[in-house]
Structure 1
Amino acid sequence: MGEDADQARKSIGARRNPDSADAILDAAEAVLVEAGYSGFSIEAVARRARAGKPTIYRWWPSKAALLFDVYQRLKRVDNPDTGNLEDDLVGFLKNLFSHWHETSSGSVFRSLIAEAQSDATVAAVLVEYTKGRHAHTAQMIERAKARGEVAADVDSTLVADLVASFAWTHLLTNRLDEDEATLRRAVGYVLKGIAADDAGSVNAAAVRRRRRRVIGRTTK
């Protein structure tokens, strides 16, 4: 399930029996597909898996913890390694948006984020999941550092937070159909910044280049 799933499970109790855990996760996924988030419950999962509720709660202390594992199990989003950070981040966002849009994982994650606003248990699980997920995304930044694309003192996790903020905003506002040009522009803002240069304009350098070309022609 990946490093981020392991991070999200730090608070989970006794070691699981792999076969029983898989059966419970299979049942949880089936209940989610059939009943949706609003109809999802530990009781329904226990019936479906023919497992005792105490067993489920021993391995997953809350409905949210179980749902996060189901979400992570559904998630199939790789971090590209193209040799260029901009392409890596654009590819990652394209993969993520497509996955959220084309599977039930987007609605699951959106519901978990919403529930975290009023349920401290869900919020705590979300925080742990986010730490692991952002550390995973930050690997792309670290690879770019090793290639010399990114300054050594850049906080990779903070950059991952900025990318995740863009993704979460689009998930929560149901805008997962952005085209590649928009994704590339957003990534460009993160990587290059939006501040004007010393001449007072982000286009000043281009203006200066044009002026030099004009001056060069007039002096010939």
Structure 2
Amino acid sequence: MGETAARGRKSIGAKRNPESADAIVEAAEAVLREAGYAGFSIEAVARRARAGKPTIYRWWPSKAALLIEVYQRQKRVEMPDTGNIEDDLAGFLGNLFAHWRDTSSGNIFRSLVAEAQSDETAAAALAEYSKGRRGHTGLMIERAKARGEVAPDVDAGIVADLIASYAWRHLLSNRLDEDDAAIHEAVRYVVRGIARTT
């Protein structure tokens, strides 16, 4: 019996075997590289990982849940801490756009958003992922509050949603080459508001 086959057989049970889970995620990445999103299926991943479909579905309840794990595994986006909220948010957006543009992650995430429009399980997986990202981005706002840059009553989650909506619009319209000046201008509108000062 080969080492890969033995590894596939260790995956029985509700608790994830880290070695088997890694093999499945690596297989999912390989299927995406070779077949693209349109050719991605749990069956193809199971064949590649030499794992049973029931095991994959036990650990990832949907194709979208597995794809989000692949996406998270690939995602390396620095969250700057410059001491200035505008620079932090603009730097984060620039890093995110570069990551989406320069890796396969942008295509994965764009496809997940599209699938979520017609698939409830994809929509649920995306909503759960977005909730975590909202909190993560909100940490930049909380840091700025602690520095006295942002009013204490500002809802960090709403600001994170505004930043995410700007990012998602650029992802979905494939406009990830936005220059730093345009990103800074958008962030300035969020941070300073648009009301006329008297």
Q: Which category describes the TM-score, using the shorter chain as reference length?
A: over 0.9
Tell me how far apart the structure 2 counterparts of residues 14 and 131 of structure 1 sit (CA, whole Å). Answer: 25
Match of 1:114 in 2: 114
* TM-score for both structures, normalised by structure 2: 0.92
Percentage of matched positions with identical amino acids: 74
- Give, in whole Å, the separation in 2 of the partners of 1:125 and 1:54: 18
- The TM-score, its normalising length taken from structure 1, stands at 0.83
Please report how far the alpha carbon of residue 78 of structure 1 lies from its aligned counterpart in structure 2 after TM superposition: 1.9
Higher relative contact order (CA 8 A, sep 6+): 1
For residues 133-152 of structure 1, the aligned pairs below 5 Å read 133-152=133-152
Offset from partner CA, 1:58-100 (integer Å, 9 cap, x none): 1011101000000111110121111111110011001000000
Residue equivalent to 1:188? 188
1:69 is matched with 69
Aligned length: 186
| Structure 2 letter corresponding to 1:77 | V
- 1:41 and 1:20 map into 2 onto residues whose CA distance is 18
> Displacement of 1:14 after TM fit?
3.1
> Any unmatched runs of 5+ in structure 1?
1-12, 199-220
Give the superposed CA RMSD. 1.0
Partner Cα distance (2:71, 2:190) in 1: 27
Cα distance in 2 between the residues matched to 1:15 and 1:27 = 19
Distance apart, 1:197 and its partner CA? 2.1
Q: 1:162 and 2:162 equivalent?
A: yes
Structure 1 outlier segments of 4+, above 2 Å: none
Other-structure match for 1:206? none
List runs of 5+ in structure 2 lacking aligned partners. 1-12
Q: What is residue 25 of structure 2 aligned with on the other side?
A: 25
Q: Helix, strand or coil for the counterpart of 2:124?
A: helix
Q: After superposition, where does 1:1-220 map in structure 2 within 5 Å?
A: 14-198=14-198
Deviation at 1:43?
Answer: 0.6
Superimposed CA distance per residue, residues 25-60 of structure 1 (whole angstroms, 9 cap, x where no aligned partner)? 000001001100000000100111111111111101
Residues 141-188 of structure 1, C-alpha deviations (whole Å, 9 max, x = no match): 000000000000000010000000000000000100000000000000
Q: Secondary structure at the match of 1:115?
A: helix
The whole-number CA distance in structure 1 between the counterparts of 2:118 and 2:79 is 32
Q: Distance in 2 between matches of 1:148 and 1:161?
A: 21
Task: Supply the AA of the counterpart residue of 1:191.
Answer: V
